[in-house]
A and B are shown apart, each in its own frame.
Chain A
């Protein structure tokens, strides 16, 4: 175990360099640069709120905030897992030539998505202040569901990264999958409009649980129940262990397939 920790410490500077590279390249040559991480979710929120409060008319208090909080969680998951998926393939030239612990590439993508998550979270706080919504003390506990969703995404990312090396079709399939998943997460619609059967399916989605906890803490001044916290942690731990296991088993084959 200490061997792995030492190895991680040795390559910790590399992790920060990789994250810095991801962010630099993403915003290179754009005038507003990193500000886009903040503006992007805001613009998306404006469009979605216009569309859904005029056309579909859901009975939700503070609909813009409802949408934005949903997006914060879902976009992070989508971003982190999609980027992790290609992290190994796109680092092929490195992996073939230099020894680097390979999970670092996945981890760096998740960390850079996390930085975007923090920007989106700031956008959420700004909108809350701008619309003079009361900021409850429970908002300080929002890190709990955020932590769970980060761990969960890392687990999914590790699995995807390892499998995509061998089966490139996953790259094409996954965007379809996440579109489906988006509709199975209560981002734009409230839970109470769902028929009972569909509601059960939506509740099976681990993201739903994380999102509801997050929203309750941020907007509704409600603490999550112990059962939803335990379920959330259990799902995160299972996916993480599975991810580490799959990645660990497959990593020596990467070089033969990239």
Chain B
């Protein structure tokens, strides 16, 4: 693997057993095994997908709902292990998958900044340094000592975005997060993503807004029902995708 490649996805497949969701308890499991009701409905969320991303390139993932975009991102982020295939990542990942996932609703915003920072692998001293920056960007300075459970969803995502985009991670994963928050804040976020991109961060971007994808990404992976339909230059694929 040459040093230019930051993410390499080779023949990745991801299988879910739909039946594993169906029982929660041992009793149910025993009863259903005796009755032979444990059927294994297989569902392939991803099937034999391969592509690679070069350093400081940004990649968009497009496709309809349920085409496997988020599953792909979760595989890259290391949350899911692929059933088959191989994944190589050469760098730090700052995941933005669903903003606010790392928040504890009972803690104050301030305490959550440190908890969330630690989730991303920053220590306390580094977070102290970034704290002002986060408060300023999220525009929540009056609310930092209030438990997050009293926040509106827009406020939560502002805070989460501000935390996830501190520093310069090698890879930033953005999963439809720009659809939350008001118009002005969306612009602010987009500007920040652009700036990180200029500083050499690789962006992995999922959105249903083709405009956003086109303005941020160089290359595009187009998924359809778990299969890789197309992989290539952003402009070309956006054109084809818009027409389909």
Report which A residues bind B (CB closer than 8 A): 10-14, 16-18, 21, 24-25, 28, 93-100, 167-170, 252, 255-257
In the assembly, what is the distance between CA of A28 and CA of B124, in Å? 22
* In contact, B20 and A21 (Cβ under 8 angstroms): no
Interfacial chain A residues near B106, Cβ < 8 Å? 25, 28
Q: Which of A13, A18, A96 contacts B79 (CB 8 A)?
A: A96
Distance (whole angstroms) from the CB of A83 to the closest CB of chain B = 15
- A-binding segment of B95-103, B133-141, B206-214, B225-233: B95-103
In the assembly, what is the distance between CA of A21 and CA of B29, in Å? 35
Interfacial chain A residues near B102, Cβ < 8 Å? 94, 97-98
In the assembly, what is the distance between CA of A108 and CA of B216, in Å? 39
* In contact, A21 and B115 (Cβ under 8 angstroms): yes
Distance (whole angstroms) from the CB of A161 to the closest CB of chain B = 16
Known: A14-B119, A21-B107, A257-B20. 7 other contacts (CB 8 A): A13-B117, A13-B118, A18-B115, A25-B106, A99-B95, A167-B25, A167-B26
Interfacial chain A residues near B119, Cβ < 8 Å? 14, 94, 98, 100
* In contact, A98 and B77 (Cβ under 8 angstroms): yes
Distance (whole angstroms) from the CB of B177 to the closest CB of chain A = 12
* In contact, A99 and B93 (Cβ under 8 angstroms): yes
In the assembly, what is the distance between CA of A226 and CA of B1, in Å? 55
Q: Which of B189-239 contact A (CB under 8 A)?
A: none
Number of interface residues of B (CB under 8 A): 35
In the assembly, what is the distance between CA of A94 and CA of B117, in Å? 13
Residue of A nearest to B126 (CB): A13
Interfacial chain B residues near A17, Cβ < 8 Å? 114-115, 118
Interface check B121, CB cutoff 8 A: yes
Distance (whole angstroms) from the CB of B95 to the closest CB of chain A = 5
In the assembly, what is the distance between CA of A182 and CA of B237, in Å? 66
Interface check B64, CB cutoff 8 A: no
In the assembly, what is the distance between CA of A18 and CA of B114, in Å? 10
Of all A-B residue pairs in the complex, the 8 with the closest CB atoms, nearest first, are: A99-B78, A97-B101, A14-B118, A17-B118, A13-B123, A167-B26, A13-B118, A97-B97
* In contact, A10 and B79 (Cβ under 8 angstroms): no
* In contact, B107 and A24 (Cβ under 8 angstroms): yes
In the assembly, what is the distance between CA of A167 and CA of B95, in Å? 30
- Listed by A's residue number, 17 A-B pairs whose Cβ atoms lie within 8 Å are A10-B121, A11-B118, A11-B121, A14-B119, A17-B114, A18-B118, A21-B104, A25-B106, A28-B106, A98-B77, A98-B95, A99-B93, A99-B95, A167-B29, A168-B25, A255-B79, A256-B20
Interface check B81, CB cutoff 8 A: yes
Interface check B35, CB cutoff 8 A: no
Interfacial chain A residues near B97, Cβ < 8 Å? 97-98
B84-115 interface code vs A (CB 8 A; 1 in, 0 out): 00000000010101100110101100010011
Q: Which of A14, A18, A94, A169 contacts B25 (CB 8 A)?
A: A169
Interface check B17, CB cutoff 8 A: yes
In the assembly, what is the distance between CA of A21 and CA of B79, in Å? 23
Interface check B36, CB cutoff 8 A: no
Interfacial chain A residues near B81, Cβ < 8 Å? 252
Interfacial chain B residues near A168, Cβ < 8 Å? 24-25
Residue of A nearest to B114 (CB): A17
Residue of A nearest to B164 (CB): A98
Residue of B nearest to A99 (CB): B78
Q: Which of B44-98 contact A (CB under 8 A)?
A: 74, 77-81, 93, 95, 97-98
Interface check B16, CB cutoff 8 A: yes
In the assembly, what is the distance between CA of A169 and CA of B28, in Å? 10
In the assembly, what is the distance between CA of A28 and CA of B106, in Å? 9
Interfacial chain B residues near A13, Cβ < 8 Å? 117-118, 121-124
Interfacial chain B residues near A97, Cβ < 8 Å? 74, 79, 95, 97-98, 101-102
